[in-house]
A and B are shown apart, each in its own frame.
Chain A
Amino acid sequence: MTGLYGGTGLHLAVALEGVGWHPAAWRAPDARPADLFTARYWADLAREAERGLLDFVTIEDALTPRPSGRLQGGLDAVLVAARLAPVTGHIGLVPTTDVTHTEPFHVSIGVASLDFASYGRAGWRPRVSAGVREAGHFGRRRASAAAPPGRIASDADLNAEAADAVEVVRRLWDSWQDDAEIRDASTGRFLDRDRLHYIDFEGPYFDVRGPSITPRPPQGQPVVTVLADSPPAYEFAARGADVVYLTPDSRAGTGAAVSRVRAAEAAAGRGGEPLRVFADLLVFIDDRPGAAAVRKARLDELDGAGPASAVEVFTGTAAELADLLEERLDAGLTGFRLRPGVLPHDLTGITRRLVPELQRRGAFRTAYRETTLRARLGLSRPEGRYSAPAAATTGGGS
C-alpha cells in the first residue's frame, strides 16, 4: 500500500503528556510518576517511540491548563524536545507552545534552535490560551468586552491572533537567506546584509521588525502543526500550518472533518502543499481481547470520571487498532497521532505491538529513510520567501 506522502503506508505520531492521557494514569502499575521531571523519563519515552519508527512525538507545554493535584506539573516543551535531540537520531520532535501570551520572536528562535540541535527534526504546535486563568499568569491582558465567560476573547479573535503569530515566526525563519553568511575575508564581511531581511510585520495585535537573531534553520521552515478543535482553528490551520490534527469520532466523522479541512484551505486561498491530516486517537492497547477495556474501566473508576476530552477513545488489541487505522486512513488521512492512555504501557503497545502488525500488513515503514521531519512528511525544503530574485532588491534596508 502506498501512502499519500513520502513512503509506505500511514504516518504515525505519538502525543506524549505527563504519565499518559488518562487522568488516573499515575496510578497504573508501571507508571513512573516519580520520574516525570527527569530527563531520563523523557529520553526513555522518545527512544521507545524511535524504536517503533514513529514519525514524530508531540510534547505538551508547561502552560497547558491541568487540573490541580499531584503530578499535574509540566516542563517547558521546547526544552524537553531539545533535551531529547542528542539522544535520538531520527524521530521528529514537536513541542507545543502558547502563542497568546508569549512573544513570537522568542518562540521563533526557540524552535529554530531546536531544529539546529536536532539537525532538521523540529516541528511546533502553536496553541491558543483562551482562559482568564492563564492570562492571570502573565497579567498583561484583560478579557475583551465580547469574550465568552471565563475566556479572554472570542475563539475567532484568538485564532486570528495565533495565525498572525505563526506568520511572524515563519517570516523570522526566512529572514536570513540560506547563504547570508559569506565570510568574505577580502572585504572583511561576515554577512551579506542584503541577504538579511526586516520582516516588518504589522497587524492588529502586534508589530515585529526582525530580522531574526538566529540563521535560517536546517529545514528552512520547521513543521508547523495545529490541533483543529473548533471552526476558527480549522481556518488557523489552513492559513499557517503544515499538519493538522483532527478529533473525529467515527469513520463518517473522519470523512466530514477532512472535507472541512479542504474547504478551509480553499477559503483561505492556500497555495502550495496541502495540509497533512492526522486524526487523534486516545489508545489503550493490550494483547488479550477485552483486557484494554477492562483496564480503562478500572482507571475510570479510580478517577471517578475518565478522560474528559473530545478525542475518540480506542480500547483493544493491536490487530483491532490496525484494522481501525487502515479503515480510517481511506477517508483521506495522512496518518494518526496516538495519545497513549498510560505511559509507558500504551506507548510500548504502539511500538512493539501495533507497529509490527502494521508492518506485517505492508502498511508501515520498516526503517527510517528520510533525515528531516519535513522530508518524512513529503514536504520539500521551501525556498525562503525573501530569496526570490524580485525580493532581493528590497534586502537590507527596506
Chain B
Amino acid sequence: MPVRQVHLAAHFPGVNNTTVWSDPASGSQIDFASFVHLARTAERGKFDFFFLAEGLRLREMKGRIHDLDVAGRPESLTVLSALAAVTTRLGLAATVNSTFNEPYEVAGRLATLDHLSAGRAAWNVVTSYDAFTGENFRRGGFLAEADRYTRAAEFLQTARELWDSWSDDGGAEGEFAHSGRHFDIAGRFGTPRGPQGHPVIIQAGDSAEGREFAASDADVIFSRHGAPAAGRAFYADVKRRLPRYGRHPDELKIFPAVTYVLGDTEEDAAERAADIRRAQVGPETAIAYLEGVWGRDLSAYDPDGPLPDVEPDLDEGVSKGRAQFRGDRGETVRRWRTLAADRGLSIRELVIEATGRQTFVGTPRSVADRIDEFVQTGVADGFIFVPHLTPGGLDDLVDHVVPLLQEKGVFRSDYTGTTLRDHLGLGPPRGAVRRAHAEAVS
C-alpha cells in the first residue's frame, strides 16, 4: 500500500477548560498579535489550514455567565481576512452557523475571503439551533432539532448555487433563483466566483444526520474521535457512506481534534501532561464539570472529596451554550461512580481522569511515529491540533515534530500548490453534481 500523506491543521485555543489561562506563558485570546503568531507558526509548519471555532452566545452555568474559562472571541471571517495579509499559503477556515445566518450573505463573505486570500478559504458549517443562542438574533430560535440539517443542507446547496451563478470566464454574472423549503430567494449575487470556485467545506456534527450531510457534500470532517479505536470506527463509518453519493472515499478528509504534549523522555512528557491536566481542571472547574453532568448545584461539595451521593437531575440542564453532555447523563454518572470507587478518586481526580486526556504524549519521535501510524491505519487523514496555550501552543510541535514527519516522507516539506484545495488534494468543486445528490436525499 502506498504511504499516505499526513495533513495538519491548527485550531486557535478554544473557550473551554482545556485552554489554560493561568500559565505565565498564556497570552491574550483577543489581541490580533496572538492570531498572527499562531497562524504564522502553522504556516511555518506548512500546515493545511488554520481553524477558528464559533459560539454565538456566552456559555452559562446555573443561569449565570460561566466565568471559569477563557471567553471573548472575535468574528471568525473578519480575523481570517486580516490574517490573509500576513500569510501566503495557509488555508483559513471559519466556523459559520447555518441557522442564524442567510445564504446570500454567508456565500458572499466566503467568496470574499477566497478572493482576498487568493484561494485559501474554508467554511465549517455548524448547526447550533437552540433558542438560547437565538435570543441574540432578530429571528430568534426558530428551528426544531430535526430541521437543523435539512436547513444546513439546503443552506449549503443554495450557497453553491450562488457561487456557481458567476462563471469563471465572466459569462454568467450572478443571476439566481432558489426556491426550497427553507429558502425562497432570487436576484443577483454580488460577488464573483472566488479562485477555488467554492471554498473548502468542513462539517463538524457527530450524529448520523451530521455524518450523512458530510458524506453527501463536505470536503473535510472535523471530528471528536482522535483515540485510535473510536477514530477507526468513525473513519470507517463515514467513508463507507461516500459511494452512495457517487464519491470516492478520498474526497472527504477526516480530521479529528487532537492534543499533544512533548517531553525529552516519555516519563517527562507524561509528567508534563499530568501537570497540564491539573491546570485544565482546577477545583472550581471540577465542580462545574460535575454540575453539568449532574444537572444540579453541587457547589457545597469539596472538589478534593468523594463524588456526590445525591442523584442527578436528568430533566434539567444547568449548562447552556455548549455542545457537551449531549450523551446519556444517567449512564455517565453510573460510569463515573464506578471509576471513582474502583480507583479511590476525588471529584477533581475523577474529572481529570474521565475527560479530555491528551491524544499524543511523548518524545517528538514517538509522537511523530504515532501521527504517521494513525494516518496509515485508518484512524484519520489528518489532525486539527488544539493547543492548550495561546499563542505559543504549537511552537514545539512545529519545531520538533513536523521536521520528523517530513523526514519520514509523510508530510510536505513545502507547499506544492497555492490554494487550500491544492493542499488537501481536492479537485475542483463539483457543485452541480453534488447538488443533484443532495436533492436526491433530501
Minimal beta-carbon separation of A195 from chain B (angstroms):
10
* Given known A68-B173, A82-B81, A103-B137, contact A39–B185 (CB-CB < 8 A): no
- Contacting residues, chain A, for B192 (C-beta < 8 A): 37, 73
Q: List chain A residues, Cβ under 8 A from B30.
A: 116, 214-215
* B127 at the binding interface (Cβ < 8 Å): no
Q: Is the CB of B191 within 8 A of A62?
A: yes
B136 within 8 A of A: yes
Q: Is residue B282 contacting chain A, with contact meaning CB distance below 8 A?
A: yes
Of B84, B118, B136, the residue contacting A210 (CB under 8 A) is: B136
Q: Are A80 and B174 in contact (CB under 8 A)?
A: no
Tell me the B391-407 residues at the A interface (CB within 8 Å): none
In the complex the two chains form, is A83's CB within 8 Å of B185's CB?
no
Given contacts A70-B173, A83-B81, A213-B73, contact A39 B283 (CB under 8 A): no
Contact with B along A76-110 (1 / 0, CB 8 A): 10111011111100000000000001111110011
Q: In the complex, what distance in Å separates the CA atom of A133 from the CA atom of B173? A: 16
The reply to whether A205 and B81 form a contact with Cβ atoms under 8 Å apart is no
CA–CA, A133 and B69, complex, Å: 45
Closest to B23 in A: A185
Classify chain B's interface size: 35 or more
B327 to chain A, nearest CB (A): 26
Given contacts A119-B32, A138-B185, contact A208 B138 (CB under 8 A): yes
Mark out the residues of chain A between 184 and 210 whose CB falls within 8 Å of any chain B CB in the assembled complex.
185, 187-193, 196, 205-210
Per a CB cutoff under 8 Å, which of A38, A79, A105, A133 touches B81?
A79
Q: B-facing mask of A102-127, CB < 8 A → 1, else 0?
A: 11111001101110110100000000
Partner of A113, one of B79, B140, B185, B191: B79
Whether the Cβ atoms of A206 and B138 lie closer than 8 Å is yes
Q: In the complex, how many angstroms separate the beta carbon of A299 from the nearest chain B beta carbon?
A: 22
Q: Mark B23-37, 1 if CB is under 8 A from A, else 0.
A: 000000011100010
**Partner pick for A105 among B56, B68, B187, CB 8 A cutoff:** B56
Assess whether A139 is in contact with B185, with CB atoms less than 8 Å apart.
Answer: yes
Given A68-B188, A83-B82, A85-B85, also A37-B75 (CB < 8 A): no
Nearest CB of A to B190, in Å: 4
Give the docked Cα–Cα distance between A140 and B184 (Å): 9
Measured between beta carbons, the chain A residues less than 8 angstroms from B118 are 38-39
Using Cβ atoms and an 8 Å threshold, which residues of chain A touch B116? 38-39, 42, 75, 79-80, 83
In the assembled complex, which residues on chain B have CB atoms less than 8 Å from the CB atom of A134? 187
Q: Is the CB of B68 within 8 A of A188?
A: yes
B residues near A206, Cβ cutoff 8 Å:
138
Write out the residue numbers on chain B whose beta carbons fall within 8 Å of the beta carbon of A112.
74-75
In Å, the complex CA distance between A75 and B121 comes to 14
* B74 nearest CB neighbor, chain A only: A113
A188: min CB distance to chain B, Å? 4
Q: Are A196 and B58 in contact (CB under 8 A)?
A: yes
A73 adjacent to B100 (CB under 8 Å): no
Distance (whole angstroms) from the CB of A398 to the closest CB of chain B: 11
The reply to whether the CB of A183 lies closer than 8 angstroms to some CB of chain B is yes
Bitwise, A288-329 to B at CB < 8 A (1) or not (0) is 000000000000000000000000000000000000000000
Taking a contact as CB atoms under 8 Å apart, the answer to whether A79 and B78 are in contact is yes
Our pick among A187, A215, A397 for the contact of B72 (Cβ within 8 Å) is: A215
The answer to whether A360 has its CB under 8 Å from any CB of chain B is: no
- Residue picked from A37, A84, A136, most chain B C-beta under 10 Å: A37
Residues of A within 8 A of B82 (CB): 82-83, 85-86, 114, 117
Q: How many Å from the CB of B317 to the closest CB on chain A? A: 18
Whether the Cβ atoms of A63 and B108 lie closer than 8 Å is: yes
Q: Check A190–B70 contact: CB distance below 8 A.
A: yes
CB distance from A102 to the nearest CB of B (A): 6
- The residue from B21, B68, B86 contacting A86, defined by CB atoms under 8 A apart: B86
Say whether A20 faces chain B, with CB atoms less than 8 Å apart: no
Note all chain B residues with C-beta closer than 8 A to A114: 78, 82
Please report which residues of chain A, range 361-398, place their CB below 8 angstroms from some CB of chain B when the two chains form the complex.
Answer: 396-397
The answer for the CA separation of A296 and B15 in the assembled complex, in Å, is 55
CB-CB nearest in chain A for B73: A213
- A140 contacts across to B, CB distance below 8 A: 102, 139
Please, which residues of chain A bring their CB within 8 A of the CB of B55? 213
Binds A, one of B59-67, B215-223, B247-255, B361-369: B59-67
Grouping DSSP codes into helix (H, G, I), strand (E, B) and loop, the B interface class, with mixed when no group exceeds half, is loop
Question: Min CB distance, B177 to chain A, in Å?
Answer: 9
Inter-chain contact A113/B282, CB cutoff 8 Å: no
Binary CB contact string for chain B from 164 to 176 against chain A (1 if under 8 A, 0 otherwise): 0010001001100
Chain A residues within an 8 Å CB radius of B58:
196, 211, 213
- Cα A183 to Cα B81 with chains together (Å): 29
How far does the alpha carbon of A296 sit from the alpha carbon of B386 in the complex, in Å? 56
State A19–B232 Cα separation when bound (angstroms).
53
Indicate whether B8 reaches chain A with its CB closer than 8 angstroms.
no
Q: Does B104 contact A138, Cβ atoms closer than 8 Å?
A: yes
Chain A residue contacts of B283, Cβ below 8 A: 188
Is A332 part of the binding interface, using a Cβ–Cβ cutoff of 8 Å? Answer: no
Specify which chain B residues have a CB less than 8 angstroms from the CB of A208 in the assembled complex.
135-138
- Minimum C-beta distance from A315 to chain B (A): 30
Query: For the complex, what is the distance from the CA of A176 to the CA of B140, rounded to whole Å?
Result: 22
| C-alpha gap A93/B85 in the complex (Å) | 15
Given known contacts A113-B78, A188-B283, A208-B138, is B65 in contact with A139 (CB within 8 Å)? Answer: no
Which residues 126-161 in B have Cβ within 8 Å of A in the complex? 135-140
Tell me the complex Cα distance, A227–B193, Å: 30
Q: A79 to nearest B CB, angstroms?
A: 4
What residues on A are CB-neighbors of B139 within 8 Å?
A: 103, 140
Are A76's CB and B109's CB within 8 A? yes
A270 within 8 A of B: no
Cα(A140)–Cα(B136), bound, Å? 18
B208 to chain A, nearest CB (A): 30
Q: A39-B84, A39-B117, A213-B55 are in contact. Are A110 and B69 (CB under 8 A)?
A: no
B183 at the interface (CB under 8 A from A): yes
Q: Given A86-B86, A134-B187, are A117 and B65 neighbors across the interface (CB < 8 Å)?
A: no
Cα distance A46–B22 when bound, in Å? 40
Q: Is B191's CB under 8 angstroms from A74's CB?
A: yes
B188-205 residues with Cβ-Cβ distance < 8 A to A are: 188-192
4 nearest A-B pairs in the assembled complex, by CB-CB distance:
A206-B138, A188-B284, A113-B74, A113-B78
A-B CB contact pairs (8 Å), 27 listed: A39-B84, A66-B190, A70-B170, A73-B191, A76-B77, A76-B109, A83-B81, A86-B82, A103-B101, A104-B138, A106-B100, A106-B101, A109-B75, A137-B185, A138-B104, A139-B102, A176-B72, A185-B22, A188-B68, A190-B68, A190-B71, A191-B65, A193-B64, A196-B65, A205-B138, A211-B65, A214-B73
Q: A: which residues have CB within 8 A of B?
A: 37-39, 42-43, 62-64, 66, 68-70, 73-76, 78-80, 82-87, 101-106, 109-110, 112-114, 116-117, 119, 133-134, 136-140, 176, 180-181, 183, 185, 187-193, 196, 205-211, 213-215, 396-397
| 15 further interface pairs, Cβ-Cβ under 8 Å (given A103-B137, A192-B67) | A39-B85, A62-B191, A73-B173, A76-B191, A79-B77, A83-B81, A83-B116, A84-B85, A86-B86, A112-B74, A116-B32, A119-B32, A185-B22, A193-B67, A196-B65
Question: Residues of B with Cβ closer than 8 Å to A?
Answer: 21-22, 30-32, 36, 55-58, 63-65, 67-75, 77-79, 81-82, 84-86, 100-102, 104-105, 108-109, 112-113, 115-118, 135-140, 166, 170, 173-174, 183-192, 282-285
